Amino acid sequence: MSGIRPTGLLHLGNYFGAIRNYVKMQEDFECYFMVADLHSLTTHPDTKELKANVHRVLAENIACGLDPDKAAFYCQSHIHETAELYLYLNMMAYKGELEKTATFKDKVRSHPDNVNAGLLTYPVLQTADIIIHRAKYVPVGKDQEQHLEMARNFANRFNHRYGEVFPEPSAFNYNQDLVKVPSLDGTGKMSKSENQMATLYLADDDELIRKKVMKAKTDSGPGANNSPKPDYIENVFLLMRLVSADDVIRKFEADYDNCSIRYGDLKKQLAEDMIQFIAPIRQKVNAILEDEKYLRQVMEQGAEKANRSAAATMQLVRDAIGLNYY
């Protein structure tokens, strides 16, 4: 089970980090992937853009290979019983531990005028999302580790108080090291919030991709044969390894090693290979976005699967708590 916030466009880092994991998991497990539309209300109370954002997240993930016939792909707000489980879990979540959460402290700093209770209990709702399917494996990045630890605590607390209902959820990834996609300016990784020109989005058009790649940081070239690569050059090669053919990569590696490399040519090649990779995804996203009927059908089908699983869990939960008087 995993959740995706419907804010902002997906970029190459999301693709190689999260989505590729989902696409693989759907072959190996019974999966629930959720658009976290309710979570977005904690920081984005204005819902004017919500529908468009939800549609985009659905379309982008499907275009990248998430298959709504294999995994349940649904919206958080369509599973009403999550709100019920959230209420029960709130009775077991302590103010002190919620206030200590790193993401809460960040949000208090960035939105001091809107420190609402939903923000404080964000990890409780996330726990409800996960354990309502009694999920064991949660494919998430490093930034979600603390939330996952809290989910384990809340699930265990429930089990101790009312009897074993939930397995322990834990973060899941196929490869030990998540693929980090470096940003084009040589600092850190691609990110929604930082330098937009250093991040490649799945929605970028060909010209913009070219422009961004050509701006990638390079220098005047290595000074001696077989020199180690500076970080920002290694980053360009890393990006190339994600999208370019083996012989192309080998050629530029050899050129680097014998000091004949021309970074202009390298970046031109990388730009074209990026376009070959991103353009078909972008076109698929746009085609899906045009087909509202299909998107509706995906959401209905996902909600139906997710609701079935949620209803079964909630029966166990109410019985365990003792909310069964008749």
Question: Closest distance between ligand TRP and the C-beta of residue 135, in Å?
Answer: 8
Stretch that binds ligand TRP, among 21-29, 88-96, 139-147, 283-291 (CB under 6 A): 139-147
Q: Does 310 bind ligand TRP (CB under 6 A)?
A: no
List the one residue out of 178, 180, 177, 209 whose CA is nearest residue 196.
Answer: 209
Q: Does 101 bind ligand TRP (CB under 6 A)?
A: no
**Residue (97 or 219) nearer to ligand TRP, CB:** 97
| Residue 107 is among the residues annotated as catalytic for this protein | yes
Q: Does 134 bind ligand TRP (CB under 6 A)?
A: no
Stretch that binds ligand TRP, among 140-148, 194-202, 260-268, 317-325 (CB under 6 A): 140-148
Question: Closest distance between ligand TRP and the C-beta of residue 119, in Å?
Answer: 12
Per-residue tokens: 146:
């603390």
| Residue 293 is among the residues annotated as catalytic for this protein | no
Site for ligand TRP in 22-41 (CB under 6 A): 36, 39
Residue 200 neighbours by CB under 8 Å, 6+ apart: 11, 12, 184, 190, 209, 212, 213, 274, 278
User: For ligand TRP, which residue of 54, 59, 66, 130 counts as binding (CB under 6 A)?
Assistant: 130
Question: Closest distance between ligand TRP and the C-beta of residue 288, in Å?
Answer: 22
**Residue (130 or 190) nearer to ligand TRP, CB:** 130
Q: DSSP code of 198?
A: G
Question: Closest distance between ligand TRP and the C-beta of residue 165, in Å?
Answer: 18
Query: CA of 69: how far to CAs of 32, 66, 225, 244, 307, in Å?
Result: 11, 9, 53, 31, 15
Stretch that binds ligand TRP, among 45-53, 137-145, 237-245, 303-311 (CB under 6 A): 137-145
User: For ligand TRP, which residue of 10, 31, 140, 266 counts as binding (CB under 6 A)?
Assistant: 140
Query: CA of 193: how far to CAs of 88, 190, 199, 248, in Å?
Result: 34, 9, 10, 32
Report phi then psi at 34, rounded to 5.
-125, 140
- Write the binding mask 144 to 183 for ligand TRP: x where contact by CB under 6 A, - elsewhere: x--x------------------------------------
| Residue 136 is among the residues annotated as catalytic for this protein | no
d(CA 256, CA 262): 8
List the one residue out of 250, 294, 289, 297 whose CA is nearest residue 269.
Answer: 250
Catalytic residue among 180, 192, 229, 268: 192
User: For ligand TRP, which residue of 129, 181, 189, 204 counts as binding (CB under 6 A)?
Assistant: 129
**What is the H or E stretch that residue 34 is in?**
strand 32-35
Strand residues in 137-237 grouped as ranges (E): 137-138, 170-171
Instruction: Give the end-to-end CA distance of the chain in Å, rounded to a whole number.
Output: 33
Question: Closest distance between ligand TRP and the C-beta of residue 176, in Å?
Answer: 20
**Residue (90 or 206) nearer to ligand TRP, CB:** 90
Residue 107 neighbours by CB under 8 Å, 6+ apart: 42, 43, 115, 119
**What is the H or E stretch that residue 156 is in?**
helix 145-162
**Residue (129 or 204) nearer to ligand TRP, CB:** 129
Query: CA of 42: how far to CAs of 116, 117, 146, in Å?
Result: 7, 9, 18
Q: Can you give the binding site for ligand TRP, defined by CB under 6 A?
A: 1-3, 5, 36, 39, 126, 129-130, 138, 140, 144, 147
| Catalytic residue list | 107, 189, 192
